[in-house]
Structure 1
């Protein structure tokens, strides 16, 4: 009997390993640095607005986040942010890039299980060098048949990647923690979308779930993925 699934795509950040927690910690430090210039809620709103403006220029990842923090610091201080504040922001960004990688529970077991039976692709956004470094540290690199580090995740992104994979989009599944980037566009490209919720979520990754989509699934954690893959067939 023919398989319904031939290709499994995995997101990386906050699906296979921790990521957002380091952004949250850095943002807390940013709020502390500028507490004399702006209230925390106002500062966070300004930072999110800066990130939204800058995604098209800087892309996703730590470097764009740091530049958005610097821009916000200059905005709320009327371009008078002290040099030590700018330096501190830059150093926190460097710390984020150098932070040891920590796999999420069940990540290794899930990738190992599905890679034994399916074509497996890592599809992640972010800075090329940083994502390559994290993949190397993860110890999962040899399990993937292909790695795609992309500037954004749109339906056409998945159509291209899955179009070059066994079975095409119709026999592909994308697994990730972001409804906006991992689930919805993969379904719109003709594949399956599986949400693995994470406790922390970036505000710009919010999207409503496609509740009535036949190819939408949600699992509590990656330990349930092998059974789901077998169930779909």
Structure 2
């Protein structure tokens, strides 16, 4: 098996909290629209709007804001008032200013990896928001390269591991999303190390590739050091 030389990390919900802020805002949103339906129905409508709009707005808070506005207009039959629309926009702006809440054992794990492997950060979403969170995290200088991409697929990992490493066969992707971080990375030929998070957007749910030789699940990021010792 080719020697591992390059390790890439996801950011949102792998290094710091992200989905938590979406869930809080969604609860505020369904409460705001309580006169037009129950929370589950409104959340379902919002999810469908988000999925439909991904091709137009991409991943991130700004697309979420626009999908909330669209959903509010739809479920209210156009009756939603300007005050409610202003509240939705304000909620989105608060998300764009939320602090970086680091997950446990992140810095210790990165410090352990740095120096032994090339270390990459591969994250998707809105450029400005991702740059803001990377700057606030204080972790940016720990990485040999940072890639902010519009989506994560097989081609993404082939390109990034070729550009910054020795190809995907000598690479490893570590993240909390099976759909975005693990399955396509393994398909490209790299290791996929799944670190489950308590909250994951339903759009990111797929079955774990448990039969893939290069699939590994660890309980927390702190378990990466032991995994690297085991696989050499």
TM-score, length of structure 2 as denominator length? 0.98
Q: Match of 1:117?
A: 116
Report the more deviating stretch, 46-55 or 222-231. 222-231
* RMSD (CA atoms): 1.0
Show the counterpart of 1:192. 191
Task: List 4+ stretches of structure 1 deviating above 3 A.
Answer: none
Measured after TM superposition, the shift of residue 4 of structure 1 is 1.8
Q: Cα offset for 1:167?
A: 2.1
Alignment of 1:67-146 (within 5 A): 67-146=66-145
Is the CA contact 1:5–1:229 (under 8 Å) kept in the aligned structure 2? no
Q: What is the CA deviation profile of residues 150-196 of structure 1, one whole-angstrom value per residue up to 9, with x for unaligned ones?
A: 00000000000011122210010000000000000000000000000
Q: Specify the alignment match of 1:214 in structure 2.
A: 213
Q: Structure 1: give runs of 5+ residues left out of the alignment.
A: none
Q: CA deviation at 1:129?
A: 0.7
Contact 2:145 2:164 in 1 (8 A): no
Aligned residues: 232
Matched, 1:151 2:150: yes
Listed one character per residue, the Cα deviations across residues 170-223 of structure 1 (whole Å, up to 9, x for unaligned) are 010000000000000000000000000000010100010001000000000011
Deviation at 1:116, TM superposition (A): 2.0
C-alpha contact 2:178 2:194 (8 A) present in aligned 1: yes
CA distance in 2, matches of 1:4, 1:35: 56
TM-score normalised per structure 1 = 0.98
> Unaligned regions of 5+ residues in structure 2, if any?
none
- 1:45 maps onto 2:44 in alignment: yes
Distance 1:171 1:229 in 2: 13
Structure 2: how far apart are the matches of 1:110 and 1:86?
42
Q: Secondary structure at the match of 1:149?
A: strand
Q: Distance in 2 between matches of 1:232 and 1:56?
A: 38
Task: Give the structure 1 partner of residue 30 of structure 2.
Answer: 31
| Contact 1:4–1:232 (Cα < 8 Å) also in 2 | no
Deviation at 1:3, TM superposition (A): 6.8
Q: Does 1:165 align with 2:167?
A: no
